[in-house]
């Protein structure tokens, strides 16, 4: 009973427990899994009218869900299964959610006054509150998500009003501020984690987490593309920490704390299905020559052909209770980064996958126009909808 209780606490906090094995994936026949991997996905045509209509509904949901102060999400809609979070955690959650929503609205700005006003309100909130985001306490470091997605949103904002030099300079300064936060909260192992269950030291002793590293490295590359160079030493340590978590088949450990359990369900291809897209892309962007076009294509095929492993975890209220210990919150995250992988491939190759990704996202849109994958207070619908909109944005034929 004591072991089970300990395992529940870790799962409820959002990481796969080292004491509780979910293990349901082992029931899958080996030959069926092998056949699924070998099968190549086939291009799918999605009518542009259907794509545009879904995007319009999602955009309208986001505009309608915006808080009066310009932010997105809140600590409301509490339930007995929420992950632990303090006041500082919620500022981090809200900042990350707002950053994603603002970026999504900028990418799919239809030129209407309502959308423009929503973007302006969201930008003002980020200008005011993003500099205040910090670690909640020595244990909870959810703020790393806000710093990474804050950088992404700021890059999108930088391109929105190119003639406003003062605004652009303010944005560049804010990006440097988020760099400084990520330097401060870097794991002693290199890279970043969002929990420190070890020491609670000033420099976190958190487990380096592959998919957090990927998010930060991709955001760093975004900043670099507008001429804002990220800190070199921190970047290199994050690259090395992510490479250390790469397995021979380009699955990635959930975190470095599982390095001695590489064949646990969560670390196998089915468990890595929502992580490998981001991790492969991050390493590719930062010069890892092992991440070839063939690797990127193989993992797009895996995501499409074996998508059911992620679908089975979608909307489950307990993290990692599904097959391969998949958590619901990997669903839209994984598809968003799969869509970003398309930008790294030749256009004629990428076009063969756009319809597949679009069809997956279109089929899970809710009646109110939103998308969500894991109940997280009142953040899940805005962040899920933002991820979905940015995925569909990249599914448009270029």
Task: Give residue 209's domain range.
Answer: 2-395
pLDDT in tens, 86-125: 888 999 999 999 999 999 999 999 999 999 999 999 999 9
**398: Cβ–Cβ under 8 A, 6 or more apart, which residues?**
347, 350, 351
**pTM (2 decimals)?**
0.91
- Of the pLDDT bands very low, low, confident and very high (cuts 50, 70, 90), residue 78 is confident
- Which CATH number fits the domain that encloses residue 152? 1.50.10.20
Number of domains in the chain: 1
The mean pLDDT of 335-340, rounded to a whole number, is 98
Residue with tokens 């020595």, as numbered in its chain: 138
The two tokens of residue 268 are 């196998």
**Helix, strand or coil for residue 268?**
coil
Cα–chain center distance at 268: 19
Cα–chain center distance at 395: 17
pLDDT for residue 39: 59
pLDDT in tens, 18-50: 433 333 333 344 444 444 455 578 889 999 999
**126: Cβ–Cβ under 8 A, 6 or more apart, which residues?**
95, 98, 99, 102, 150, 153, 154, 157, 174
Contact 83, 133 (CB under 8 A): no
pLDDT for residue 2: 28
Measured CA distances, 206 to 140, 156, 195, 374 (Å): 10, 30, 6, 24
């Amino acid at each position: 009973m004591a072991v089970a209780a300990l395992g529940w606490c870790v799962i409820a906090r959002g990481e796969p427990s080292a004491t509780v094995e979910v293990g349901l994936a082992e029931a899958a026949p080996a030959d069926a899994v092998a056949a699924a991997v070998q099968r190549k996905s086939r291009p799918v045509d999605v009518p542009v009218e259907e794509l545009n209509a879904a995007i319009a509904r999602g955009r309208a949901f986001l505009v309608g869900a915006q808080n009066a102060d310009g932010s997105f999400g809140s600590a409301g809609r509490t339930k007995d299964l929420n992950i632990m979070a303090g006041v500082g955690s919620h500022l981090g959650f809200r900042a990350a959610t707002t950053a994603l929503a603002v970026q999504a609205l900028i990418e799919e700005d239809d030129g209407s006054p309502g959308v423009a006003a929503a973007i302006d309100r969201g930008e003002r909130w980020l200008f005011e509150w993003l500099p205040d985001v910090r670690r909640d306490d020595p244990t909870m470091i959810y703020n790393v998500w806000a710093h990474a997605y804050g950088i992404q949103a700021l890059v999108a904002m930088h391109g929105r009003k190119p003639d406003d030099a003062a605004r652009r300079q303010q944005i560049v300064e804010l990006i440097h501020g988020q760099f400084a936060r990520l330097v401060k909260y870097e794991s002693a192992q290199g890279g970043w984690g969002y929990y420190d269950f070890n020491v609670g030291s000033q420099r976190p002793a958190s487990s380096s987490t592959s998919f957090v590293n990927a998010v930060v490295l991709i955001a760093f590359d975004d900043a670099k593309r507008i001429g804002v160079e990220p800190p070199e030493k921190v970047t290199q340590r994050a690259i090395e920490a992510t490479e250390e978590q790469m397995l021979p088949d380009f699955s990635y450990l959930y975190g470095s704390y599982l390095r001695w359990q590489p064949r646990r369900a969560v670390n196998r291809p089915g468990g890595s299905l929502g992580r490998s897209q981001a991790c492969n892309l991050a390493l590719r962007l930062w010069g890892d020559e092992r991440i070839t076009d063939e690797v990127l294509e193989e993992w797009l095929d895996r995501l499409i052909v074996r998508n059911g492993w992620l679908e089975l975890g979608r909307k489950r209220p307990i993290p990692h209770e599904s097959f391969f210990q998949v958590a619901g919150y990997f669903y839209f995250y994984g598809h968003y980064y799969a869509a970003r992988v398309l930008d790294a491939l030749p256009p004629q190759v990428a076009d063969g996958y756009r319809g597949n990704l679009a069809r997956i996202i279109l089929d899970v849109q809710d009646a109110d126009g939103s998308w969500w994958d894991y109940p997280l207070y009142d953040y899940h619908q805005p962040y899920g909808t933002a991820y979905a909109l940015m995925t569909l944005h990249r599914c448009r034929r270029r």
